[in-house]
C-alpha cells in the first residue's frame, strides 16, 4: 500500500504495548502521532459514553437493523462498545458495519490478553475476525474493515450505497492528524449519514465544529457528565446531524468560540495533502482573518 499521501511513517514495526487507563482498560501509544489512542481517563468508558451513548444506540437498538460506520477503527473499542450496547437491548438486532483504519497492526495488537477479555465472547469473536480477516459475518452481523487512508477508503463505502445510523469519528487530535478533520473529508463522510443519524466525536475544537458546519451539518455538544469541572474542559465532544435532529445546544461560550480564529477549519481540496501542507494552509488563513483571537475569548470566559 502506498503511504505517500500521508507523508508520515506509521508505527508498522511497533509491537503495541498495552497502557492502562484510569478505568482499568488498556490503550496504546502511537509514536508516529505522539498520542495515546484513547483518553487516559478511561478507554472503555470513552467508547461507551462519547460514541455508543452519544449516538443514541441504547434507543436505536430497538430497531430490527442498524448501520454503523467506525472511522478510525484502531483497537475496535467503538465497534465493540456499540455491539455490546445494541445486543444488550435487542439481541436480535441485525447490524451492518464498516470500519476504516490505516494500520492493520493496530486491530491485531488488540486481540491479545488482557485487552480482548474485557468484551463478551460474541464481541471477542467479532474483533478477532475483523483483525485477522478484515471481515466478519455471523447470524446478526455483517462487518468489513477497510484498510488504507480513510480519505480514499470512504469512497468504497459511498459507492456501495451504505448509509449509517451512527458514525463514530475518532482520529488522533486535529493538530496531529489534520487530514481527517477537514471540511472536504467531513463532506465525504456525511454522504454516509442517514437523515436521522448522528456522528459523534470526542473533539470539542472550534475548527472541527466549523468544518462540520461547513459540510452542511448542525452541531450539538456532549456536555460534561460531572459538575463542577475545570473551565478548560467545557464539553466531552461534539455530535453532528442533519437539520431537524434534536441536539444538545452549544452554550453561549461554545457559540462564541465558533467566532474566533480557532474556528478556521482545516482544508484539503484534493483529499491528498500531507499534515504539513494542511497545517501551513490553515496558519495562512488564520493570519489573514480579522476574527477575535482565541486568547481574548479565553480571557473573557476565564478559561485557564
Ligand atoms: C485515536 S485512534 C482510534 C481509536 C479507536 N477508535 C479505538 O477505539 O481503538 C486513531 C486511529 O486512526 C488511524 N489512522 C491514522 N491516520 C489514518 C488515516 N489517514 N486513515 C485511516 N485511519 C487512520 C490510526 O492508525 C489509529 O488507529
Q: What is the pLDDT of residue 228?
A: 61
How many domains is the chain built from?
A: 1
Q: Atom 12 in ligand 1: which residue has the minimum CA distance?
A: 72
**Would the CB of 75 count as within 6 Å of ligand 1?**
yes
**Tens-digit pLDDT profile for residues 140-179:** 999 999 999 999 999 999 999 999 999 999 999 999 999 9
Contacts 24+ apart (CB under 8 A), 113-119: 114/18, 114/26, 115/18, 115/25, 115/26, 115/75, 118/25, 118/44, 119/80, 119/84
Q: What is the pLDDT of residue 131?
A: 98
Q: What is the pLDDT of residue 192?
A: 98
**Would the CB of 77 count as within 6 Å of ligand 1?**
yes
**Would the CB of 71 count as within 6 Å of ligand 1?**
no
Q: Give the Cβ contact number of residue 227 at 10 Å.
A: 6
In a domain, 11, yes or no: no
Question: Distance from the CA of 301 to the center of ligand 1, in angstroms?
Answer: 33
| Residue with cell string 465558533 | 258
Q: Are 178 and 282 in contact (CB under 8 A)?
A: yes
In a domain, 1, yes or no: no
Question: Distance from the CA of 1 to the center of ligand 1, in angstroms?
Answer: 16
In a domain, 8, yes or no: no
In a domain, 91, yes or no: yes
DSSP 266: B
**Would the CB of 100 count as within 6 Å of ligand 1?**
yes
pTM, entire model: 0.94
User: Which of 23, 33, 74, 177 to mutate to test ligand 1, by most ligand atoms within 8 A of the CB atom?
Assistant: 74
In a domain, 12, yes or no: no
Q: Which ligand 1 atom is at minimum distance from the Cα of 77?
A: 8
**Would the CB of 130 count as within 6 Å of ligand 1?**
no
**Tens-digit pLDDT profile for residues 50-73:** 999 999 999 999 999 999 999 999
Please give the residue range of the domain that contains residue 132: 19-300
User: Which of 26, 72, 130, 166 to mutate to test ligand 1, by most ligand atoms within 8 A of the CB atom?
Assistant: 72
Instruction: Return the C-alpha cell found at 179.
Output: 487530514
In a domain, 23, yes or no: yes
Question: Distance from the CA of 299 to the center of ligand 1, in angstroms?
Answer: 34
Q: What is the pLDDT of residue 10?
A: 53
| pLDDT surpassing 60 at residue 37 | yes
Q: What CA–CA distance (Å, rounded) separates 162 from 96?
A: 9
In a domain, 3, yes or no: no
Look up the CATH number of the domain holding residue 283.
3.40.50.150
**Would the CB of 49 count as within 6 Å of ligand 1?**
no
**Would the CB of 146 count as within 6 Å of ligand 1?**
no
Mean pLDDT of 287-293: 92
Q: What CA–CA distance (Å, rounded) separates 111 from 124?
A: 8
Q: What CA–CA distance (Å, rounded) separates 186 from 91?
A: 32
**Would the CB of 28 count as within 6 Å of ligand 1?**
no
Q: What is the pLDDT of residue 139?
A: 97
Residues in the chain, overall count: 304
In a domain, 44, yes or no: yes
Q: Which ligand 1 atom is at minimum distance from the Cα of 28?
A: 9
Q: Are 273 and 179 in contact (CB under 8 A)?
A: yes
SS3 223: coil
Amino acid at each position: 500500500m502506498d503511504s505517500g499521501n500521508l507523508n508520515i511513517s506509521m508505527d508498522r514495526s511497533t509491537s503495541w504495548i498495552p497502557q492502562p487507563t484510569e478505568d482499568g482498560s488498556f490503550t496504546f501509544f502511537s509514536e508516529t502521532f505522539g498520542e495515546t489512542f484513547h483518553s487516559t481517563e478511561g478507554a472503555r468508558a470513552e467508547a461507551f459514553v462519547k460514541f455508543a451513548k452519544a449516538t443514541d444506540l441504547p434507543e436505536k437498538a430497538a430497531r430490527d437493523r442498524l448501520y454503523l460506520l467506525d472511522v478510525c477503527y484502531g483497537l475496535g473499542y467503538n465497534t465493540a462498545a456499540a455491539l455490546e450496547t445494541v445486543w444488550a437491548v435487542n439481541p436480535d438486532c441485525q447490524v451492518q458495519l464498516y470500519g476504516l483504519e490505516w494500520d492493520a497492526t493496530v486491530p491485531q495488537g488488540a486481540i491479545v490478553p488482557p485487552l480482548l477479555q474485557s468484551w463478551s465472547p460474541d464481541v471477542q469473536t467479532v474483533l478477532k475476525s475483523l483483525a485477522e480477516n478484515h471481515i466478519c459475518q455471523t447470524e446478526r452481523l455483517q462487518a468489513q474493515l477497510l484498510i488504507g487512508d480513510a480519505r480514499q477508503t470512504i469512497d468504497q463505502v459511498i459507492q456501495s450505497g451504505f448509509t449509517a445510523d451512527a458514525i463514530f469519528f475518532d482520529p488522533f487530535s486535529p493538530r496531529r492528524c489534520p487530514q481527517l478533520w477537514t471540511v472536504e473529508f467531513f463532506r465525504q463522510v456525511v454522504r454516509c449519514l442517514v437523515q436521522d443519524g448522528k456522528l459523534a466525536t470526542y473533539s470539542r475544537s472550534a475548527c472541527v465544529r466549523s468544518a462540520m458546519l461547513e459540510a452542511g451539518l448542525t452541531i450539538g455538544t456532549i456536555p460534561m457528565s460531572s459538575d463542577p469541572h475545570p473551565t478548560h474542559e467545557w464539553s466531552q465532544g461534539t455530535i453532528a446531524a442533519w437539520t431537524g435532529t434534536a441536539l444538545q445546544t452549544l452554550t453561549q461560550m461554545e457559540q462564541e468560540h465558533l467566532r474566533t480564529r480557532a474556528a478556521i477549519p482545516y482544508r484539503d481540496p484534493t483529499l491528498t495533502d500531507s499534515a504539513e501542507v494542511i497545517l501551513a494552509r490553515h496558519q495562512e488563513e488564520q493570519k489573514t482573518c480579522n476574527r477575535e483571537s482565541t486568547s481574548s475569548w479565553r480571557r473573557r470566559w476565564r478559561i485557564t
